[in-house]
Structure 1
Amino acid sequence: MKDHTCRVLKNRHISGRLYLLELSCPGMETPKAGQFLMLKVSKSLDPMGRRAFAVADLREDRLLIFYDVYGRGTYLLSQVREGESLEVFGPLGKGLFNKDGEKHLLIGGGVGLAGLTLLAKELRSEGKRVFIAYGGRTKEHLGMEEWLKEEGFEYELFTEDGSLGRKGKVVEVLKDFDSSWIVHACGPKAMLKALQRIEGYRIYLSLESRMACGWGVCLGCVVKERNGSYVRVCYEGPVFDANRVEL
């Protein structure tokens, strides 16, 4: 892992709060599914810290990041123009997905789907069966559907208000799959906690957390394990067995 100066190829609005950032990062080690990058979103010291983003896809010499604009950091990132450069540290994260098994169900909530899409491509390249359940509050929260169509994955959409796809919460998809499927999930904490309450499945969670450093030094992203100790999302994670951590 090291710092890279990456050129912005695209940075465009998709829908709702969702944006797609495409970068060219010559010399960067190829990120693996589950890993993330720490981006310096401004040339100034405002904000001081970097922001963590999942690596959503790799296409030839392009690296894709989907992100929601929520605070000042992501707003500033949304203002970066094509041809400009960003300082990027990574790839980071040592705890990655378990790709054992032949059938994999990926459950993404909102922009959390971006934490699973590179996994979907890796699994497919290994000849595994992949099904993706993608959920959000409304259809505006499902802006990554175009990526799913382009890549040709089997998928089902869920919205809580019924404005697109199946009405209900995305975790309800488990009713349609038996325990022979390995489950991987990334999304809001409430969604991940709901999955932890479901028994009989092997479930892996990709956690999102506020990070200052991204490589285990600041201890700002720790979560508690069920044995009472603590682990760092950025270093021991970001992917954990659902039975290992308390959310």
Structure 2
Amino acid sequence: MTLKSFIPNFVTLLNLLCGSIAVLFAVNNLLVAAAVFVFLGIFFDFFDGLLARKLNAQSEIGLQLDSLADMVTSGLVPGIVLFKLISMSVDSSAFITSSTEWNSLLHLGDFKLAPIALIGLLVTLGSGYRLAKFNVDEEQQSYFKGLPTPANALLILSLPLIMEFQNNDVINSIILNVWFLIPLAIISCYILNAPVKLFALKFKDWSFKNNAIRYIFILLCIVLLVVLQFAAIPLVILLYILMSLFSQ
């Protein structure tokens, strides 16, 4: 393996490292720190493919490594974060102290488990299935089938950031509502694997004619982020899906 071919793989490993660090933060309820490292991992995920194309260093190992890194950063971490948010949203005593039997089953040392929170891990399962399909699908070069796992991760990881930095009581009450979070987990699994074509942010050239939808999308994203800050991220994901559907 030449040094040139290893550079993209090294950047992919940085993605995996960021995802692993994010897991440590997420399981310790440091969701904002987990979000920061997921965002950093997605940054590396974007540039490893770009470097591979620019250096003409694309390889089967790189493809597999990229999916393995994404499985951690954009699959496992969002599932854990959603698990934590659902745990926060439910009245734990209703699940843990409803009976002596349930109490003994759900206390594992200092760890208390609300069974309904496990629904959050559906995102991890849906992400794994989506990545496996991507690896064997040779059509997804200029577009994606279903929402890419990094975009779905951004959607879920934006929730603790909105709560922390925008701290709006109404928004917080929506986010920490089990009847919002459970449908979110189910919808995420669906849109990850939906047979819908979504445009990829890959520029073969810089002309506006060939990339109009990409330039318009980026411009709208900048406006939304400036105006709404972290609350813009769910709207950006929705905008991405809607623009993809209308472009067809």
Tell me whether the two structures share a fold, i.e. TM-score over 0.5.
no
TM-score where L is the length of structure 1? 0.29
Structure with greater proportional helix content? 2
TM-score for the superposition, normalised by structure 2: 0.29
Considering only CA atoms, is the larger Rg found in Structure 1 or Structure 2?
2
Larger fraction in strand: 1
